[in-house]
């Protein structure tokens, strides 16, 4: 990854910091998106990617989580999860493809969720939005393979972050995947060493 330019959306969060640390250790030049950038705004996303030097990879970590029983979930809450997870990923992927075509190819890595493939109670809005990320990843992978762009997603279980530990203080935190561990998987998928894998939804569950 030495000297290669990589965009990381959401790189200031707990997972993002782990991913950025791994990428920088491999020599990547990491562009962490500014916190004021709205990734559900077409013009903002397009302008940001147009400003980045010739791109090698884009890693989409921006997203959000909410849970409630289906009868207590409003349409507005569903739409909010869709915008923060599916729409942000779609716009970043679209503009990443535009930039990567100019560069002659590269890598895209998205972040889905184990819950979106296994199901989980009281998470219908979140699961639907993350299922959109998974479907987008696989469809886009087929579309841009001929451009030399490989597109994959990782599917975390619950990640070992301070916020998650505070929310579940009695859980077995040792079994949860660490941000840096997930970062190692993402770094491989985003690297030149990955020459074959595209369209994959890679489990990063740990023992959670």
Report the CATH number that the domain containing residue 195 is assigned in CATH: 3.40.50.720
High-pLDDT (> 90) share of the chain, %: 88
What confidence tens digit (pLDDT) does each residue in 181-199 have?
A: 999 999 999 999 999 999 9
At 179, the pLDDT band (50, 70, 90 cuts) reads very high
Write down the pLDDT at residue 207.
Answer: 83
48 is catalytic: no
| Catalytic residue (choose from 39, 49, 90, 126) | 126
Picking from 29, 13, 116, the residue whose alpha carbon sits closest to that of residue 61 is 13
Q: Is the pLDDT of residue 175 over 90?
A: no
Q: Is the pLDDT of residue 39 over 90?
A: yes
Report d(CA 1, CA 143) in Å as an integer: 25
Alpha-helix residue ranges (DSSP H) falling in the chain: 14-25, 42-51, 75-81, 88-103, 115-118, 124-144, 162-167, 179-189
Contacts (Cβ under 8 Å, ≥6 apart) of 103: 54, 55, 56
Write down the pLDDT at residue 144.
Answer: 98
Write down the pLDDT at residue 206.
Answer: 85
Q: Is the pLDDT of residue 168 over 80?
A: yes
What mean pLDDT, rounded, does the chain reach? Answer: 96
Region 201-208 average pLDDT: 91
pTM above 0.75, yes or no: yes
Region 108-124 average pLDDT: 95
At 172, the pLDDT band (50, 70, 90 cuts) reads confident
Report d(CA 125, CA 67) in Å as an integer: 7
Residue with the two structure tokens 């640390």: 21
Write down the pLDDT at residue 202.
Answer: 98
> If phi over 0 gives left and psi between -120 and 50 gives alpha, with beta otherwise, what is residue 125?
alpha
**Number of domains making up the chain:** 1
**Structural domain for 151, as ranges:** 5-204
């Amino acid at each position: 990854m030495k000297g290669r330019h990589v965009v990381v959306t959401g790189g200031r969060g707990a997972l993002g910091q782990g991913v950025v640390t791994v990428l920088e250790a491999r020599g990547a030049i990491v562009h962490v998106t500014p916190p004021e950038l709205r990734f559900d705004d077409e013009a903002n996303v397009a302008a940001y990617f147009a400003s980045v030097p010739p791109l090698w990879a884009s890693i989409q970590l921006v997203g959000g989580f909410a849970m409630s029983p289906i009868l207590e979930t409003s349409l507005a809450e569903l739409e909010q999860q869709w915008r923060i997870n599916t729409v942000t990923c779609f716009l970043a992927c679209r503009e990443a493809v535009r930039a990567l075509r100019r560069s002659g190819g590269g890598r895209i890595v998205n972040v889905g969720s184990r819950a979106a493939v296994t199901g989980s109670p009281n998470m219908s809005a979140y699961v639907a939005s993350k299922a959109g990320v998974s479907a987008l990843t696989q469809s886009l992978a087929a579309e841009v393979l001929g451009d030399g762009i490989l597109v994959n997603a990782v599917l975390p279980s619950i990640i070992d972050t301070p916020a998650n530990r505070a929310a579940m203080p009695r859980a077995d935190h040792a079994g949860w995947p660490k941000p840096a561990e997930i970062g190692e998987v993402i770094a491989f998928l985003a690297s030149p060493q990955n020459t074959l894998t595209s369209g994959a939804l890679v489990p990063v569950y740990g023992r959670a």
